Homo-oligomer: A and B are copies of this chain.
């Protein structure tokens, strides 16, 4: 009989999460009850949103409770089943949590084809980040042929897809990313028109240079000073998609609101928040389209795979330090 290793939330973090916020526990693997199945987790998705789930208070999903297994998207294999819809050997994606084995009743679980794409892709371009990019850019940002699209976190799981879809749709695309290597990747490999390195460059000046007609759509993953810089360069009727604000998630001081928000008035612009779950009924449409683009080579995907469940706490922090390059995924090592 196997052991299930789990990371549970022990304390709510103040600022950057530490090891003390987690309790690492082992227990025997549970048996699925009637209408349930058991998943052996293979890859965990590490997402900036996870930091928000660790906080108390009302948000778009309930917080992870103290003592609960940390919520995380994952792909894995069904290894035991008493559920009519899922059989042993099925490959599935769902919110299985930071553990080796998860019991599921099938809600929110999708079968994926392990032959059609490498498993980590189902956590990236063909998973939540890809869905977020697709619906956020097309349905909230409503980018049009010939417009200028700016995206922050441009080398990340969401941003890299946003920029590539915008290129496919005929937009001029300017990324914002941290470091020369990421910027080179975004321009040379993904085909963005330009990329501004926020670590060494002046973002405002870069936007002025690369967006001479202003910014029509800004897809914001970071918030903070970069959002404020973008606000100074909006085109008339610009749309800002608020997808995330990673620069603010570990704040111990109040969030920095966008001081230049009155640019929304001057430019008759809008700022709209999005949560990908609202488009769940249309994921199929997006996955089909994205898979086609991946196959034709119009869309490229990059995963940053770290191995070992034990490395979860430190690996999660890579997101906030900008250390990941592409979709950050934790590969679960063989449990015992």
- Interface residues of chain A, those whose CB is within 8 Å of chain B, are 58-60, 223, 228, 242-245, 248, 254-275, 278
Contact = CB atoms under 8 A, between A and B. Distances in A.
A272 B278 CA distance: 21
B258 A268 contact: no
Nearest to A234: B273
B266 A60 contact: yes
Contacts of A271: 261, 264, 270-272
Contact of A272 (B60, B254, B270, B274): B270
Given A256-B259, A258-B258, A275 B270 contact: no
A274 B273 CA distance: 18
The A interface, classified by DSSP as helix, strand, loop or mixed, is loop
B270 A273 contact: yes
A269 B273 contact: yes
Number of this chain's copies in the assembly equals: 2
Contact of A262 (B242, B259, B266, B268): B242
A58 B266 contact: yes
Given A258-B261, A262-B273, A269-B272, 18 more contacts: A58-B266, A223-B262, A228-B257, A242-B261, A242-B262, A242-B264, A243-B265, A244-B265, A255-B259, A257-B261, A258-B258, A261-B261, A261-B271, A268-B272, A268-B278, A269-B273, A270-B272, A271-B271
CB-based closest 9 A-B pairs: A257-B257, A265-B273, A264-B273, A270-B272, A257-B259, A257-B258, A271-B271, A255-B259, A60-B266
A268 B275 CA distance: 7
A257 B227 CA distance: 11
Contact of A265 (B259, B264, B274): B274
Contacts of A59: 266
11 contacts: A242-B261, A243-B265, A255-B259, A256-B257, A257-B259, A257-B260, A264-B271, A265-B273, A266-B275, A267-B273, A270-B271
A102 to B, nearest CB: 27
Contacts of A254: 259
A83 to B, nearest CB: 32
